[in-house]
Each structure stands twice: as structure tokens, then as C-alpha cells.
Structure 1
Amino acid sequence: MASLILALSMHASFSQAVYGQEVSNSKVALDKVQSFSRVGEFTRAFQEIANVEDAALRDEGHSSIARMQMKAGLIQAAVETASYIEDDVNRSELLSEAQTARSKAPVARGGGVTPDFDQLIDLITTTVEPESWEELGGPGSIAPFPTGVYVDSQGTLKRITQLSNDSLLSDIHDTSKILSANNDAAAESVLRKVSLTRLEKEAQLRWAIGRDPSDTMLNMAGIYEVKYLLVYPETGEIVIAGPAGPWHANAEGRHVNIATGRPVLQLDDLVVLLRNAIDEHGKFGCAITPTQQGLKSAQEYIDVTSAKPLHPRQRDQWLKGLQAAVGKQDITVHGVNPDTRVGQIIVEADYHMKRIGMGLEDGTAGVPSYLEMVTIPPGGSPPPMDVLRWWFTLDYRNISVTKERDAFALQGPGVKVLSENEHLDAQGQRIHTNTSTALNATFARNFSTNYASLAVKYPIYAELKNVFDLAMITSLIEKERLADQVGWNLTHFGPDGGYQVATGSAPKVVDSIMNMRIIDKKHIIAGVSGGVNFDPSEMLTDEKMSVDEYGLMTADHKSGNVPQTIKHHGWWWD
């Protein structure tokens, strides 16, 4: 035993000595990197940084080069250098400095028009073999020439007009597809993978030089369904995987897959829901409700007008009077900013569902409106004018997970509709019953059962399903502490990050959703309220986690790791 302990001790001492020597060599190399950077010899600095074996010291070397490049006014080059910093907190700090330096850059004076060569140079060096330029240790150099030429990555002078038959920008756009180190994002894929950690890094690099995320980033490389959430602690990756393909804007302006018509995942939605998972524990929703005064006025209107029988030709005029009495319904959103796409989607889906229920929009086979289902037996009375309450909520059976808890898959349709009947008192106050009549429950059940076909006819419901899936994924990331496992600090996508989500005008009120039907000269009147209620807490329990016993998820997890052939700026792959 003593000899074993001695051997282990000697091995530990030897390992420490080797590590100490590596750090010592790295520090010598780092000194050279910093010396070359100070005198502006960035090519030699990059050549020397290859000798820095310690990761922390290598990050320090890249930081030194980037800051000297910023000092020399080479903001674009500094940002590219920062992309090699592995620690995302250090990288984010440097990119913030670059973004500030870029915003403070001096503007040309005088009344003449000065060509914006800097912007063109930035575009060329970040899209045409970005690792081959002088600032990053390559042979290529570039400088502005007013005669319409530039120096390519091999040091060759070229005329701008020779780069493309159409335009320089279109040629660069085509070349930029190489950046992701993948095939064309418009290609069909059974299982495309998007690394959220790499995607954040690339979006932050663009932010630092004043550029918006690319179209491929905004559309999550064309993924239109979440199949897996994959985790790779050894390489620092959190990956969303799912089927993908080419997309375009449909007649409603939604970005949908060309073959299936299904909306593709949106980066803005992901960021909103990541921040919601961190700040609000994944809870969000909306409500569309009539006002108490409006309901009281509606009751009074019905009492006054019901004294005389209503002729069928008077139906539309009578209904307009009722809707005027009810007035507008209030829209409220909680958990997410109502100005964001997520806030707008949940409101739109809720409003559209209620219009189907009231017969103001067509449903699909198996989804008649509530009013269509009403029957009055001989001598019977129509249903009372309760307020029908319908709302969307999550509908996942369980979450499949590997034994190592490094792969997750959502099981179940994802979305369902629930119902309740609310009574009204004389003052128009809504009284919750926590119960639903058979007729009311039937509409909710029909809608839930046929949700997939409704989502084909009306893509807004597929959008809502995407939002729910992303909300579950982001809640899993937070609950399982997956970001901590891979060393991801969400420096750009997190609540304090610089990523700016696109916003629009949020509606505050909407026309009342009411309708009526006449059967045997009897009025059937229906009004509706409800909303969306998403609370993932009931699903994020060990009881709801079902271990995959067949090994399929484990196999897909293994095959989904970042390929060794991926280039520096790659963030998705097939």
C-alpha cells in the first residue's frame, strides 16, 4: 500500500511539473504576443499565440491583440479576434468595448460625400475567408481605393466590378454561406442542429460591429419543429435539433417552410422566452375579457329588447346593438413584453380561437362553432347568456430524457383548450364556477383534438405551438441548470444581454367577440372570454421525466455533436 501511495504521489508531482512547464511556456509565448501587438505586428502576434497552450492565457493573448487593434482603429479586426476568446464573459466584455469604440468613431467632416470604404472592407473581411486576412495572421491585406478595386485574401488586387456580374454585395452574400461551415441552410434536413451557445456568440459578434443578426440566424437555420434539446458539457454546447428546410414569407408575412407551410422557429422568440424562464420561471400568458360595465349594459340591452319577438331580418342590427352595449374587450399580457412577437402571437391565437368558437371564422372538420352545436328540445329553453371562457394551456404527456440527462424530447401535442362557464350577476360581475357545461366542454375538446389540422389551415396555431415548445425548452435549460453545465453565461441572450428583440405596437383592446343564433324564434346568445396560460412547473418534475429505455435518444445525441469539420464561425449543421 505504501508503494502504491508513493507511486501516486510521484505521478501527481510529475503531472504538476508538466502542467507548470506548460504554463511557463505559455507565459513566455504570451509575452511575445503582447510585445508584437503593442507595435502593431498582429500577424506575428497571431503566429506566436499558437504556442500558448493554456486556455486562460490564450484568451488573455487574444484580448491583448484585440485591444491593440481597437486602439489602431481596426474595430472589425478586433471583433474577429475576440471571436477566438473561449470564455464568453471575457469575450462579451471585449465586444462591448468594441461596440462602444465603434459608436465613438469619428465621422468625416466637410460638405463632400466620402465613400464608406470602412463598411465595405468590413463586409469583405468577414465574408470572404475571414481567417485569411492580415489582422488574423493570414497573407491577405485590404485597403480602400477610390478607383473601385480591392486587394483579395491572397494579396491580389482586383477590380470590384469583376467580382460579380450583378453586384459586389450579391457575390459576397453567396460567399458568406461558407461562414457557417455547412451546406446551404435552404437545403432540406431531417434533423438540423443549432448550437445556442455558438449562435449567441455569432449574433454578439455582429452586434459589436453594428449589424443585425443574419436572416439565417433570425429564422434559426430553418428549423420548423423542436425534436430534441441536446447538451454537450465537454464541448460547451446546448443544441436544439429538428427538421428544417427552405423558408419564405407567406401571404400573412409569416416565415414558413416552403414544403410544409409550417412556421420556422424565430430567434427573437427564443431570446424572449429565455429571459422569461430566468426572470418569470417560465410563466406567461394573456387575457381577452369584457369589462364589467359592458356586461351589465349587455344584460340591460337584452332585457329591453327581448319584450318583442325578433324578426330574422333584424338579427344583424340587433347584434350590432348588443356588441355596442358590450363595447371593447380589454387585452392584458403578463410574463412577456406585449410588444414582442411572443406577446402578439399569444393574443392573436387566442382571439382567432374565440372567433372560430363564435362562428365568426370557419373551423375544420370536427370543429363546429359553439353556436352550431346548440340544440333546443321541444318546449325547452336556450342556454342562458353565461360568459363562456376558453383558454389555451400546455398539453405535454411527459418529457423523455436520457439516463445522463443530456438529451430531452417533448412528448404530446403541446397545446390544448380548456373551458369554463362564468355566471353574470345583475351588475355584470363575472362569477367563476370552475365547471363547464357539456356543450362548452365539447367545443374545447374538439378544438384540442383537431389542433394539428387547425394549425395547417391557420398557421397562427403552429406559431403558438412553436412558442410553447421553445418555452418548454428554455424552462428546461433553466430548471436543469444546463447553462451552468456547459459554462454558458448568456452574456448576449440573457436578461442583461445586449440582444435587442424586435418590437411592434401591442393592442390594448379588441372588438367584443359575441354572436347569436335564432332557433324556433328563440335567441341563442354567446359571449366569450379567456386567454393563454403557460406554466411549465407542473411538467418540470421528476415524475414527468420519462427515461428513454430504447437508446434512440442516446444515439441521436451522439450523432448530434459538433462535427470536427465545422469552421470557426459555424453554429448549425446537419
Structure 2
Amino acid sequence: MLNLIRAGMVASLILALSMHTSFCQTAYGQEESNSNTTLSKVQAFSQVGEFSRAFEQIDKVEDAELRDQAHSTIARMQMKAGLIRAAVETASYIADDMNRSEVLSEASSVRNQSPMARGGGVTPDFDQLIDLITTTVEPESWEELGGPGSLAPFPTGVYVDSEGTLKRVTKLSNDSLLSGIHDSAKIVAANQDLLTQSALRKVSLTRLEKEAQLRWAIGRDPTDTMRNMAGIYEVKYLLVYPDTGEIVISGPAGPWHTNAEGRHVNVSTGRPVLQLDDLVVLLRNAIEKNGKFGCAITPKQHSLKSAQEYIDATSDKPLHPRLRDQWLEGLRKSVGKQDITVHGVAPETRVGQIIVEADYHMKRIGMGLEDGTAGVPSYLEMVTIPPGGSPPPMDVLRWWFTLDYRNISVTKTGDAFALQGPGVKVLSENEHLDAQGQRIHTNTSTALNATFARNFSTNYPALAVKYPIYAELKNVFDLAMISSLIEKERLADQVDWNMTHFGPDGGYEVTTGSAPKVVDTIMNMRVIDKRFIIAGVSGGVSFDPSGMLTEEKTSVDEYGLMTAEREASNIPKSIKHHSWWWD
């Protein structure tokens, strides 16, 4: 009896399993059939130029992958019709960034090809017409300058596809080329008033990359708002939102202008704003070079030997004060120019130029060739000779910038980060010279040399106000740490961000200039009690984040303040499709 019951139960289970499998197969078949039907309709409508009706089919689809396929289909058909801007706008609705990037690359390639002839006539130059209108009719109201206005070409009623087939283009309403929210040219930069000061502005790096890539696909450079990161002038938090696919930088921001040195600075604080070019360079550096970069300004060995010989030849008789400058110029000529080397980043990039400029300027302050601030006298000013004492020997003083973060604060869930500490400091070393002018590292620093480095580090904020180049260097260091955190913690993987445009293989082109290679020797002299004090300097910038990206240097936010800040900074539900920053 028991065996019969068991047999009946097994039979019932087999029947139920069979019915369930049959139901699942039927449901799957219906779902697959519905998907194929949707894509078939999208394909059919797109082929005859009925793009509005094609979009109506997508409105009924909830599956993200299927929606991406449908948008890709429409975008490619728009390319065949010569509607490149429309295709790019359609591609902006593709959620998967790898898929979207592939479509945008195709659009860029088609755009760069010779225009297709329509109807045997000359193809109108829409780009020239658009440029004429946007530069003469209220220029600040157009998308290139962050305004809401946009223009797009509208083709004639027929076109010839790549296979030579003549087809019709449906005449769409004036309200939209693509129906509803699918506006063919509305690739705008911002969503709010950039002229307002903000205590905490947020920039989504994933959205910013998408918008920059959309512009790239239609042959346009990033907007001024994009290049200046919506006016953020200090990195306060790095925030991660896996559910919405966002990596966000936040910090104080406001309107900016170009100062006398050509720097983009906040109009109220004078602080330089973050630069998109710098972020891209440092993201690529973090991926390819483990975040390490720097520069060096060093005298040549034979030049140092010549300098020693010059001093020996001219020190046998007292130097008249009126001949001081002439003698010093002779010393500089004997040393010649110093070599500049940059590693980790390309020297012609803005990052490469900033680290060299900051290092060179710091050494000029140290040699008394530029004024410091209160608390930062030059090295030569600090030199004293006690009665019966001797002046410091002609060592080569080595000063260099390096990172100075106390720790990295992180939430318990690892989705918000903050950098703690001043960020930048100066280190020092005394290098001896042998008879051949060879620099010998001592790994030690005299008290006087160390004092200058300490004074400079302590007063760095004041120096950054007086000389914005130091604030620029701090921004570079902050962005470099943020980039290294993104790479080390695999934050891009958490939000499915493939960096198709900003990454090492991306199409974003960083603006470059002339690479610095040599610089006039940084050397000075002071006379105390008719005795010469001569000082030369070397050094550079050394950034290596590996020492900071450890458990020992990470502190968990136990009070929940960062968690609360992250929740308050979440992307607004009402944000527009093309917006990438918010307050």
C-alpha cells in the first residue's frame, strides 16, 4: 500500500513538473515571439522612414535589453537616411554603454564620410548654416554655450540608402523630429542655473561621459560647462549609486571666469575649477600606470661640474657688490639649462604642464626669485652665519611635491568616499656634489632645508590663494586620488561603467600644448659678511597613491554623516534625460 502511495506521488510530481515545463516553454516562446514581433515592427517602420511609429513600439517594451536593441535599430536606419543628429539622439536612449558606444562610433564614421547625394543635386551644407545661425542669433542661447536652444538639419522627402534604393522620409511634426521626447538635436549641457553658488554640486561621471560622447559623434567638442565640470572647484565626496549606474563627484561650485593668467577660476573664491581634461588624463593614468606620475627638474652633471670650476676660478678675490648680478649671471650660464622630464602622463597634457609649473614656481620662491607669503621666507633668507662659522656648502637642495592625505573616509557599505588632509606637501633632501659634478643622494636633509619644506607645506593654503597654480596642483592630486579609488575599488564595475569614451581606448581627445623640456637654471646667491652663499635646487613632483589605498589608511565613517550626505545627493527623479549635474 505504501509503495502504491509513493508511486502515485511520484507520478503526480512528474505530471506537475511536465505541466510546469510546458507552461514555461510556452511563456518563453510567447515572450520570444513578442520580442521578435516588436523588433520586426521597429525594423519595418524604420525602413520606410516611419520613425515616429517605430518609437511607438518601444513605448510598449519594458525589457531594457530589448529597448536597447530597438533603439539601435532605429539609430542605424536614421544613419542610412543621413539623419546623423537624429541617430545620435536615438542612441542616447541606449542604456548599455558598450552598445551605445558602438552605435555612436558608427554615426561618427558615417558623418565623416562624404555626404550622400540626394535627388542628383548638390547636398546642402547644413553644418555651415547651423553654425551661421548659432553664432549670429543670440549666441549664448544655443547648446554650444550651455543654453537650451538647438538646431538640426531636416532632409528632403526622399533619400537613397547605401544600397541605392530610393525611399521616403515621413514628414514629422514641428514639435519633434523623433516623436515625443526623442528630439533630434537636443544634446544640452546642464539642467539648472550655473550662475548660482552651490555648497555641494554633484556631477555624474557616467552621464557626463555619455553627453560628451554624444557631442563627439556629431563632431562637436565638449561644451564649456563640461570642460569646467559645472564649476566645481574642490572635490569633497566620491559617491557611488549601483542601482542607477552613477559615479558622482560632489563639491562646492559656482560661476567661473578666465583670470589674467588664463585660468578658469570661481568668481567668488578665485579657486581654479576642476577640468574634464585633467580627469580623463588621470583616469587613464590610474588604469594604465597604477596612478603613478610626476616630473623632475634637474641640472645636468657636466653643468654642475662647470659651476664648481667657475666658483673656484672667481673666488680668489672679493666680489664687488656692483658686480654681483654679473657674477651670478656667469654662474647661471656655466650651469646652463635644467632638464625637465615628465612620467606617467604625457608632458603635453594640461596635467603634465601643471605639475611642472607648480614645481618650477615653488623652487623660485625657495631661491628668493618670487615672493612667498607670511611664514614662507626663501631658503637664502633663512641662512645665518654665526661668528666664526662658515656658510652652508654648495650642495644641491632637492625639494619635491608629494601627496599628503591623512586617510580616506568611507561608509560601511563602501559607496561614499572622502579625502582627509591637506593633500599636498613638500619634502626635502640635501644632495652632495663630487668633483665630477655627480649628485649624491644622502636621504637626509639639513635643519634649514627641512624648515623651508615644512614652512611651504604648512602655509600651502595661503600660497594657493596668492598663486592659483598651487590650487591647480591640489585639484590634480584630488582627481588623481579619486581616479585611483575608482580603479582600486572597482567602482566602475559596480555601476556597469565601461568608460567607452573617457577610458584609455576611448575617443575623448584631450587638449594638448607644447611639452616643456628645459628651463633656466634655478639658482641664487646671497652675500653675508662678504661671504658668498650659493644655492641651487632640483626636485619635482612625485605622486604614488599606493601608500594611501590600504586598509591602514582607510577609516570607516561610524557616525553615518557620509551616508546621510550620499542619500541627500542622490540623482533627482525629475532630472532631464541629457542632464549630468545637479545641486
The sequence identity of aligned pairs, in percent, is: 78
* Aligned mates of 1:482, 1:87 — CA distance in 2: 17
Does residue 89 of structure 2 align to residue 75 of structure 1?
no
Show CA shifts across 1:119-172 (max 9, x none): 5569999959x999999xxxxx9568xxxxxx994389xxxxxxxxxxxxxxxx
* Aligned mates of 2:434, 2:48 — CA distance in 1: 82
Q: Given residue 502 of structure 2, which amino acid in structure 1 is its aligned partner?
A: F
Does residue 506 of structure 2 align to residue 506 of structure 1?
no
- Residues 142 and 149 of structure 2 are in contact (CA less than 8 Å); yes or no, is this contact kept in structure 1? no
Query: Which of the residues 413, 427, 436 maps onto 1:427?
Result: 436
Unpaired runs of at least 5, structure 2: 1-8, 135-140, 157-171, 178-184
Alpha-carbon offset, residue 117 of structure 1: 2.9
Partner of 2:37: 28
Does residue 305 of structure 2 align to residue 296 of structure 1?
yes
SS of equivalent residue, structure 1 residue 515 = strand
Does residue 60 of structure 2 align to residue 51 of structure 1?
yes
Q: Given residue 300 of structure 1, which amino acid in structure 2 is its aligned partner?
A: E
Partner of 1:401: 410
Query: Which of the residues 258, 266, 275 maps onto 1:257?
Result: 266
Partner of 2:166: none
- Residues 142 and 152 of structure 1 are in contact (CA less than 8 Å); yes or no, is this contact kept in structure 2? no
- Residues 91 and 100 of structure 2 are in contact (CA less than 8 Å); yes or no, is this contact kept in structure 1? yes
Does residue 388 of structure 2 align to residue 379 of structure 1?
yes
- Residues 453/134 of structure 1: CA separation in 2 closer, same or farther (3 Å cut): closer
Does residue 478 of structure 2 align to residue 469 of structure 1?
yes
Unpaired runs of at least 5, structure 1: 136-140, 145-150, 157-174
Partner of 1:159: none
Alpha-carbon offset, residue 116 of structure 1: 3.4
SS of equivalent residue, structure 2 residue 102 = helix
Partner of 1:525: 534
Alpha-carbon offset, residue 27 of structure 1: 3.2
- Residues 28/143 of structure 1: CA separation in 2 closer, same or farther (3 Å cut): closer
Q: Given residue 246 of structure 1, which amino acid in structure 2 is its aligned partner?
A: P
Does residue 249 of structure 2 align to residue 240 of structure 1?
yes
Show CA shifts across 1:320-375 (max 9, x none): 01000000000000000000000000000000000000000000000000000000
- Residues 20/535 of structure 1: CA separation in 2 closer, same or farther (3 Å cut): farther
* Aligned mates of 2:151, 2:313 — CA distance in 1: 84
- Residues 42 and 134 of structure 1 are in contact (CA less than 8 Å); yes or no, is this contact kept in structure 2? no
Partner of 1:117: 126
Q: Given residue 102 of structure 2, which amino acid in structure 1 is its aligned partner?
A: E
SS of equivalent residue, structure 1 residue 194 = strand
Partner of 2:6: none
Alpha-carbon offset, residue 28 of structure 1: 2.2
- Residues 395 and 535 of structure 2 are in contact (CA less than 8 Å); yes or no, is this contact kept in structure 1? yes
Deviation larger for 31-40 or 455-464: 31-40
Does residue 358 of structure 2 align to residue 353 of structure 1?
no
* Aligned mates of 2:494, 2:28 — CA distance in 1: 25
* Aligned mates of 2:258, 2:81 — CA distance in 1: 43
Alpha-carbon offset, residue 268 of structure 1: 0.2
- Residues 420 and 435 of structure 1 are in contact (CA less than 8 Å); yes or no, is this contact kept in structure 2? yes
* Aligned mates of 1:381, 1:16 — CA distance in 2: 95
- Residues 100/385 of structure 1: CA separation in 2 closer, same or farther (3 Å cut): same
Partner of 1:96: 105
Show CA shifts across 1:210-244 (max 9, x none): 00000000000000000000001111110000000
Alpha-carbon offset, residue 507 of structure 1: 1.4
- Residues 127/467 of structure 1: CA separation in 2 closer, same or farther (3 Å cut): closer
- Residues 30 and 52 of structure 1 are in contact (CA less than 8 Å); yes or no, is this contact kept in structure 2? no
User: Structure 1 runs of 4+ off > 4 angstroms?
Assistant: 12-24, 112-115, 118-128, 130-135, 141-144
* Aligned mates of 2:225, 2:40 — CA distance in 1: 40
Query: Which of the residues 458, 463, 483 maps onto 2:467?
Result: 458
- Residues 294 and 428 of structure 1 are in contact (CA less than 8 Å); yes or no, is this contact kept in structure 2? yes
* Aligned mates of 2:220, 2:487 — CA distance in 1: 29
Q: Given residue 40 of structure 1, which amino acid in structure 2 is its aligned partner?
A: G
- Residues 397 and 429 of structure 2 are in contact (CA less than 8 Å); yes or no, is this contact kept in structure 1? yes
* Aligned mates of 2:449, 2:264 — CA distance in 1: 34
Alpha-carbon offset, residue 115 of structure 1: 6.6
- Residues 272 and 336 of structure 1 are in contact (CA less than 8 Å); yes or no, is this contact kept in structure 2? yes
Partner of 1:447: 456
* Aligned mates of 2:358, 2:324 — CA distance in 1: 28
Does residue 344 of structure 2 align to residue 335 of structure 1?
yes
Does residue 540 of structure 2 align to residue 535 of structure 1?
no
- Residues 488/107 of structure 1: CA separation in 2 closer, same or farther (3 Å cut): same
Q: Given residue 437 of structure 1, which amino acid in structure 2 is its aligned partner?
A: T
- Residues 181/250 of structure 1: CA separation in 2 closer, same or farther (3 Å cut): closer
- Residues 77/120 of structure 1: CA separation in 2 closer, same or farther (3 Å cut): farther
SS of equivalent residue, structure 1 residue 446 = helix
- Residues 426/72 of structure 1: CA separation in 2 closer, same or farther (3 Å cut): same
- Residues 115 and 123 of structure 2 are in contact (CA less than 8 Å); yes or no, is this contact kept in structure 1? no
Alpha-carbon offset, residue 186 of structure 1: 2.4
Show CA shifts across 1:88-112 (max 9, x none): 1111111111001000033899xx9
SS of equivalent residue, structure 1 residue 380 = coil
- Residues 193 and 242 of structure 1 are in contact (CA less than 8 Å); yes or no, is this contact kept in structure 2? yes
- Residues 523 and 537 of structure 2 are in contact (CA less than 8 Å); yes or no, is this contact kept in structure 1? yes
- Residues 370/52 of structure 1: CA separation in 2 closer, same or farther (3 Å cut): same
Does residue 186 of structure 2 align to residue 189 of structure 1?
no
Q: Given residue 454 of structure 1, which amino acid in structure 2 is its aligned partner?
A: L
Alpha-carbon offset, residue 477 of structure 1: 0.3
- Residues 143 and 149 of structure 2 are in contact (CA less than 8 Å); yes or no, is this contact kept in structure 1? no
* Aligned mates of 1:315, 1:343 — CA distance in 2: 36
- Residues 521/114 of structure 1: CA separation in 2 closer, same or farther (3 Å cut): farther
* Aligned mates of 2:205, 2:307 — CA distance in 1: 51
SS of equivalent residue, structure 1 residue 333 = strand
- Residues 301/107 of structure 1: CA separation in 2 closer, same or farther (3 Å cut): farther
Q: How many residues align?
A: 538
Partner of 2:175: 154
Q: Given residue 222 of structure 1, which amino acid in structure 2 is its aligned partner?
A: G
Does residue 581 of structure 2 align to residue 560 of structure 1?
no
Does residue 569 of structure 2 align to residue 548 of structure 1?
no
TM-score by length of 1: 0.88
* Aligned mates of 1:479, 1:323 — CA distance in 2: 45
- Residues 557/67 of structure 1: CA separation in 2 closer, same or farther (3 Å cut): same
- Residues 189 and 211 of structure 2 are in contact (CA less than 8 Å); yes or no, is this contact kept in structure 1? no
* Aligned mates of 2:360, 2:113 — CA distance in 1: 46
Q: Which has the larger radius of gyration?
A: 2
* Aligned mates of 2:495, 2:403 — CA distance in 1: 28
* Aligned mates of 2:154, 2:107 — CA distance in 1: 20
* Aligned mates of 2:150, 2:333 — CA distance in 1: 68
Show CA shifts across 1:401-436 (max 9, x none): 000100000000000000000000000000000000
- Residues 283 and 502 of structure 2 are in contact (CA less than 8 Å); yes or no, is this contact kept in structure 1? yes
